Amino acid sequence: MTTHLTRRELLGRSLRTGAGLGIASFVVKDLYPSVRAAQASDMLAPAFRALDDFVRAYMRTMDAPGLTLSLADRTGVLRVASYGYSNTERAIPVDASQLFEIGSITKSFVAIAVLQLVDEKKIDLHRPVAEFMPWLKVGSAFPPITVHHLLTHSSGLPESLSCLLSDPAARLRPRYAPGEHFFYCNLAYQALGYLIWQTDGRPFADAIRERILRPLGMDSTEPVISGDTRRHEPRSYNAFLDDRPFMPGATLKPAPPLVMDNAAGCISSTPHDMGLYMQMLAGGGKTARGRLLSEESFALMTRAHISAEEFGPGAAYGYGLMIDTLDGHKVVRHTGGMVSFASAIQVDIDDGLGAFTSINAMQGYRPNPVARYALQLMRAARNGRPLPPPPDVDAVSMIADAQDCAGTISSPSTARLEFIADGKALFVLRDGKRVAIDRNGNQFVARDPVLGRWPLNFLREKGDRTPVTDLVIGPDWYYHSRYSGPQTFADHPEWDAYTGHYRNDSPWYGSLRVTKAKGRLWMDGSVPLEASGDGAFWLNEPAHNPGQIEFFNRVAGKCVQAKLSGIDYWRVVV
């Protein structure tokens, strides 16, 4: 799922120490539920071997403890494989029968249940939600939000894990008219889970079990995460320190137990069961027992309703699924990020092939390259073409535009930092020594206990693919000689009450830090804040981000409470 935690992930990703364990455990189990599937699997054997080789290399590069994999087509599950460890401390291998939390892939299950209720004339996709979801408290002068807007992440509501605010008088505040922008929104799918409960007359988990899991034979899948399901999961891992950007090479810890029935991402499943799910998607909503979803509703689910280019050039969003192309073929895909699991699913609708994979750690990435390469290999093998070469998986230390960041920069207080590019490696000079810098999505983190507390937020006056002109590191601002903008900014002393470190100890949220730099407030050193005119601030990355942060309860001139899109955080003085 995309949550405040994932905002942390975008600031960086942590690679586990102890990589010397290697991927010593490599267990493959092939399943042949039908003669046709067995014949197809024989044909695909070279593709499977090539995929195994890639998975080994991928896991070493990404330092993944364990990985589970399923491949399927319209005839059934073709292969289930498991790699690496379900418990790194005891070197216990991943078992293909273990449950992995699939995160936001749950959203496609939500969409199916909603569309089934549409087929039953119980839900109208274009009816204002205010008419039948009065508990979803929205304050807005914009046109009404509909079920369609919730399904397509186009409601204009902020990103949060909860649509139910702690203050009964509070209202969710859209930033723009519904349908105007795509902005990923977990709370919209939590609300849809409640809508399913309200309309179907049974809790979300029961509705999903009866409407989807049992008809598909997904008998091992659990639609709610609890202590009972935890016993059937592998041990999973996340960052040992969560009050700073994820640092490559940093220590991971076993993740805390999670109890969750939030429809934004509460399903845990086995790879075989996910193969059955992909069989249905590859078959256009059909199963061996009949249609799970009508042709009309499946077409609605897999239609590109709104552009979603933040997930890649040409990407769009349907209902609970990303709509994309791969080598000219229509693909539906999604990822899932949990506190300690990372998953990806990709289904080639044209050729009827699917791949699902999940890793038992959250380190800021999703195993999309594995699922994508699996599709390419299976397609080539089936069509008698040469197998494609494996994709490049760059180590986090490889920075393609390292040269753009090189040079000496100064701060208004005359402090200086020198950045050195060496091919695709980037370093900062500290006390006469080179400190390595690692790539974290679109940002960077130095392997330094002081600088590493913040992302290195390189800025470019003239846009992407131009040299870096200045840099924000937490509360500090530096500029190159090529910087041509202003060097002094309005002070805004009233903002000093807001700066500091705030925390929510939920495993989903952790820490946020507010600083003042370059004449504005920043959240976590990378997200610029823009005053909204009512004492709150919009999160202005991207410019249409509907997230808001507010500050409350001053003690000795400092606010001791913050609300980020309705979620409470409290000041800590560390």
Per-residue pLDDT of the chain (574 residues; tens, 9 = 90+): 433 333 333 323 333 333 334 444 555 555 555 545 556 667 899 999 999 999 999 998 888 999 999 999 999 999 999 999 999 999 999 999 999 999 999 999 999 999 999 999 999 999 999 998 888 989 888 999 999 999 999 999 999 888 888 888 888 999 999 999 999 999 999 999 999 999 999 999 999 999 999 999 999 999 999 999 999 999 999 999 889 887 656 789 999 989 999 999 999 999 999 999 999 999 999 988 889 999 999 999 999 999 999 899 999 999 999 999 999 999 999 999 999 999 999 999 999 999 999 999 998 889 999 999 999 999 999 999 999 999 988 777 788 888 889 999 999 888 899 999 999 999 999 888 999 998 866 778 998 888 888 999 999 988 777 889 999 999 999 999 999 999 999 999 999 999 999 999 999 999 999 999 999 999 999 999 999 877 799 999 888 999 999 999 999 999 999 999 989 999 999 8
Q: Which two tokens stand for residue 355?
A: 């791949």
Is residue 234 one of the residues assigned to a domain?
A: yes
415 and 508 both lie in a single domain: no
**Of the residues 429, 444, 479, the one at which a domain ends:** 479
* 25 & 133 share domain: no
Q: Is residue 213 part of a domain?
A: no
Same domain, 526 and 439: no
- Domain assignment of residue 4, yes or no: no
Does residue 470 sit in the same domain as residue 508?
Answer: no
Tell me, yes or no, whether 368 and 291 share the same domain. Answer: yes
Whether 153 and 130 map to the same domain: the answer is yes
167 and 120 in one domain? yes
Across 540-554, b (16+ Cβ under 10 Å) vs e yields bbeeebbbbbbbeee
Contacts 24+ apart (CB under 8 A), 397-404: 397/248, 397/425, 397/436, 397/438, 397/439, 398/424, 398/425, 398/439, 399/424, 399/425, 399/426, 399/437, 399/439, 399/444, 400/424, 401/465, 402/426, 404/458, 404/460, 404/466, 404/467, 404/468
Our separate counts of H helices and E strands in the chain read 13, 32
Give domain status of residue 297, yes or no: yes
Flag whether 321 is in a domain: no
Q: What is the dihedral of CA 53, 59, 61, 62, to 10 degrees?
A: 150
In 250-294, where does DSSP find H-type helix?
Answer: 271-282
What angle, rounded to 10 degrees, do the helices at 106-119 and 186-200 form?
Answer: 40
In a domain, 355, yes or no: yes
> Which structural domain range is residue 185 located in?
110-200
Amino acid type, 258: L
Instruction: State whether 135 and 276 are in the same domain.
Output: no
Q: Are residues 546 and 500 in the same domain?
A: yes
Domain boundary among 200, 215, 241: 200
The number of folded domains in the chain is 4
Domain check: are 552 and 475 in the same one? Answer: no
Q: What is the CATH number of the domain that holds 502?
A: 2.40.128.50
SS3 109: helix
- Asked whether 543 and 554 are in contact (CB, 8 A), the reply is no
459 and 534 share a domain?
Answer: no
> What stretches of 403-499 adopt beta strand conformation (E)?
407-410, 416-422, 425-430, 433-440, 443-446, 457-459, 470-473, 476-479
Same domain, 382 and 473: no
Closest CA to 102 of 218, 22, 247, 243: 218
State whether the Cα torsion 151-153-158-161 is positive or negative: positive
